[in-house]
Amino acid sequence: MKVAIAGGHGKIALLLTQLLAGRGDEVRGLIRRAEHEQDVRAAGGEPVLCDIEREPVQAVATAAAGCDAVVFAAGAGPGSGAERKWTVDYAGAVKLMAVGVERYVMISSVGADPDAEGEDVFAAYLRAKGRADAELQASGLAYTIVRPGPLTDEPATGLVSLAERLDRREITRADTAAIVAGALADPRLAGATFVATGGKTPVGDALAALLA
Ligand SMILES: NC(=O)c1ccc[n+]([C@@H]2O[C@H](COP(=O)([O-])OP(=O)(O)OC[C@H]3O[C@@H](n4cnc5c(N)ncnc54)[C@H](OP(=O)(O)O)[C@@H]3O)[C@@H](O)[C@H]2O)c1
């Protein structure tokens, strides 16, 4: 399949690009800096310059044209303020809902909640993520929302826990990428929203259990 990844130079995005390219999928990595093109190519993807905050929806649609699925893997990042949580994590994700691609996999966050309480930047982040998730759930698109716990850069374990509600617990970015890759391969996961943490169940089995 052809997959467009918004935030194509992110850590999960590059791991996901490797997994997808390795199984024969075509990946378009939407990035905002030309100096990141080579990393996307090295992972097996095709870089496309597309700043999801600045570009109008038509330009993002052009960048994703012809794709079977989109993945939202962008993020304003830990150093950013509340304003960019709204322009990237919320508005960027919403823009990607309007590009005309039916299948949408969202990398959200454990605790994402439109009503998350608090005045700090993390609370703003959880509200931005929660509102984007709510709009995706109401969009009519074939969505899957993955809500990972705190991310680590440890190697893949292949073992996870997936459920509608789980205690906050770490997960590797590599395992998160494998969950997203698995979700993309299974259209029956359309309509699913779940938390993802490290655990004891192989990724494929954990995804299959969500269908039961
Ligand atoms: N950190 C955690 O513990 C945690 C937990 C749960 C969920 N998450 C979520 O998981 C997702 C992926 O995490 P990650 O660690 O892989 O992220 P990451 O490495 O920080 O990557 C985010 C990517 O988004 C890109 N980006 C930012 N603004 C953009 C724009 N306007 N247009 C295009 N790309 C843009 C960044 O590019 P630049 O380099 O150009 O800025 C960066 O490559 C994020 O949505 C994050 O919120 C994180």
pLDDT tens digit sequence for 118-159: 999 999 999 999 999 999 999 999 999 999 999 999 999 999
Q: How close is the Cα of 7 to the center of ligand 1, in Å?
A: 6
**Structure confidence at residue 27 (pLDDT):** 98
**Structure confidence at residue 106 (pLDDT):** 99
Closest CA to 160 of 132, 107, 169: 169
Contact 80, 50 (CB under 8 A): no
- Residue having the nearest C-alpha atom to atom 40 of ligand 1: 32
**Structure confidence at residue 163 (pLDDT):** 98
Angstrom distance (rounded) from CA 34 to CA 18: 19
**Structure confidence at residue 29 (pLDDT):** 98
**Structure confidence at residue 101 (pLDDT):** 98
**Structure confidence at residue 45 (pLDDT):** 98
Q: How close is the Cα of 20 to the center of ligand 1, in Å?
A: 18
- Ligand 1 atom nearest 148 alpha carbon: 6
Residues (pLDDT < 70) of the chain are none
Helices (H), the chain: 11-22, 37-43, 57-64, 82-84, 91-96, 121-137, 173-185, 203-210
CATH number for the domain formed by residue range(s) 2-209? 3.40.50.720
pTM here is 0.98
**Structure confidence at residue 78 (pLDDT):** 87
Contact 53, 92 (CB under 8 A): yes
**Structure confidence at residue 32 (pLDDT):** 97
Distances (CA, A) of 65 to 84, 98, 190: 26, 12, 21
Q: Where are the domains of the chain?
A: 2-209
Q: Which residues contact 138 (CB under 8 A, 6 or more apart)?
A: none
Alpha carbon 64 to its chain centroid, in Å, reads: 15
**Structure confidence at residue 3 (pLDDT):** 98
Segment (H or E) for 98 = none
**Structure confidence at residue 67 (pLDDT):** 98
**Structure confidence at residue 198 (pLDDT):** 98
Q: How close is the Cα of 207 to the center of ligand 1, in Å?
A: 23
- Residue having the nearest C-alpha atom to atom 46 of ligand 1: 75
- Catalytic residue set: 125
Q: How close is the Cα of 212 to the center of ligand 1, in Å?
A: 31
Pocket residues: Cβ below 6 A from ligand 1:
7, 9-13, 30-33, 51-53, 73-75, 77, 88-89, 92, 107, 109, 148, 150-151, 173
Residue 113: strand, helix, or coil: coil
- Residue having the nearest C-alpha atom to atom 15 of ligand 1: 11
